[in-house]
Amino acid sequence: MTSQETARQSAAPWVRLVVRDGNLLRLFIACVLIFVVMTLLRPEVFPTVENFRSMGSQFPEVGVLAVAIMIAMLTGGIDLSVVSIANLSGVLAALFIRTFIPAEASDVQVVIGLIGAVVIAFAVGMLCGLLNGLLVARVNLTPILATLGTMTLYTGITVVITRGNAVFAENRLTFIGNTYLFDVIPIPMLIFAVVVAVFSVILNRTAFGLKLYLIGTNEKAARFSGIDVPRTLIGAYVLSGLLAAVVAIIFLGRNNSAKWDFAPSYVLQAILVAVLAGVNPAGGSGRLLGIVLAILALQFVSTGLNMLLLAVSGGQFFKEFAWGALLLIIMVINYFSERRR
């Protein structure tokens, strides 16, 4: 055994994964490259604690949504309704907080009230996911269509409940957006880390996770090998809805309010992250590590461009261009590297 091989075997599992998977490797290189370039261009503002705190509170929303999209994509489906679910559960959680936590509430009351709000949000998210799952698995609707319809439906329900107005959460959850663990790590980032940890166990260590990949690889084969395909699919969409509800809590934590038309562009951004991460939209393959690397790369690009183009009018829009370009460039590189093999 050569020393090189020993080194490769003793390396951490994620390092081995990155080295073996071309797409992950390219994403990793992109991350490092953007980071280094930005550090060289803006040494006084980019590699600072201040900047990391601000970046760390920005990316988790789309990051968690991308995990939700990934779960659906693994089965060969897609969930376009995630943001509308987040807005619906956010609105209901905010209404719960307003109704059941009085202004002069004691600490215990506040804690119980907040737990209630989170439970409401999660329950709504899972319920919405259940409807998606039923439409996809039992009615046999194409996932794009099913979730396109429910996206409009959930948004509509939110409009009806709020009459189109924003609902404020009385600053009860804003600690999520303002608190930092060890003064550096924002709570949303912590939530993202927990989501990634929990889902890496679900996807890699449970029978359910394996079934998701199998269904996405070959649904017919999965069915004939005895997997209850409809039930697994429903499970996938329920989980996706649950993750959307997690995002709802982060939204409330950052904005102190929920509204029916908040962040519609996050749907396509989350898909973009998932695809960039190497999740196959046709199902069967994709890794959470890819999501982490992809969202980091995009965050570095956005923040970096913001810093570079601060003085230019409309500079904040350049990142949209850069994101699209990055997606296409990585896809084209993947095309060439796959053809070489």
Q: Under the rule (CB under 8 A), what is the footprint of other proteins?
A: 80, 135, 139-142, 144-146, 148-157, 159-160, 163-164, 264-265, 268, 271-272, 275, 281-282, 314-315, 317-325, 327-328, 331-332, 335
Pick between residue 49 and residue 338 the one whose CB is nearest to other proteins. 338
Q: Token digits for 125?
A: 């998210």
d(CA 133, CA 123): 15
What's the min distance (Å) between Cβ of 33 and other proteins?
20
- Cβ proximity to other proteins, 28 vs 323, nearer residue: 323
Pick 139 or 207: Cβ nearer other proteins = 139
- Cβ atoms of 258 and 154 closer than 8 Å: no
For Cα atoms 215, 216, 219, give the angle at the middle one, nearest 5 degrees: 45
Rounded to whole angstroms, what are the CA distances from 9 to 21, 22, 56, 131, 289? 15, 18, 32, 45, 19
- Please report how close the Cβ of residue 270 comes to other proteins at its closest, in angstroms: 11
In whole angstroms, the minimum distance from the beta carbon of 123 to other proteins comes to: 20
Q: How far apart are the first and last CA of the chain?
A: 26
Give the burial class of 306: count Cβ atoms within 10 A of its Cβ; 0-12 exposed, 13-18 middle, 19 or more buried: middle
The rounded distance, in Å, linking the Cα atoms of 323 and 220 is 36
Cβ 267 to other proteins, closest distance in Å? 8
Give least dist CB 264 to other proteins, A: 6
Shortest spacing between CB 16 and other proteins, in angstroms? 28
* Residue number, 190 or 322, with CB nearest to other proteins: 322
Cβ distance to other proteins smaller for residue 32 or 282: 282
* In the complex, minimum distance from the CB of residue 216 to other proteins, in angstroms, rounded to a whole number: 15
Strands, E, within the chain: which ranges? 167-168, 180-181, 185-186, 257-258
Closer Cβ to other proteins, 75 or 256, answer by number: 75
Using the structure block, give the residue that is written with the tokens 């199998």: 214
Residue with tokens 């429910």: 150
Residue with smaller CB distance to other proteins, 257 or 334: 334
C-alpha 239/C-alpha 330 separation (Å) is 29
Using only the alpha carbons of the chain, give its radius of gyration.
Answer: 21
> Exposed (0-12), middle (13-18) or buried (19+): which is 127, by Cβ within 10 Å?
middle
Closest CA to 231 of 120, 89, 321, 133: 133
Please tell me the distance from the alpha carbon of residue 109 to that of residue 115, in angstroms, as a whole number.
Answer: 10
Q: How far is the CB of 111 from other proteins (least distance, A)?
A: 34
Q: Identify which of residues 59 and 246 has a Cβ nearer to other proteins in the complex.
A: 59
Residue 98 CB partners (closer than 8 Å, separation 6+):
167, 168, 169, 170
CA separation for the pair 239, 237 (Å, rounded): 5
* 58 versus 269: smaller Cβ distance to other proteins: 269
CB of 310 to other proteins, least distance (A): 13
Centroid of chain to Cα 168: 24
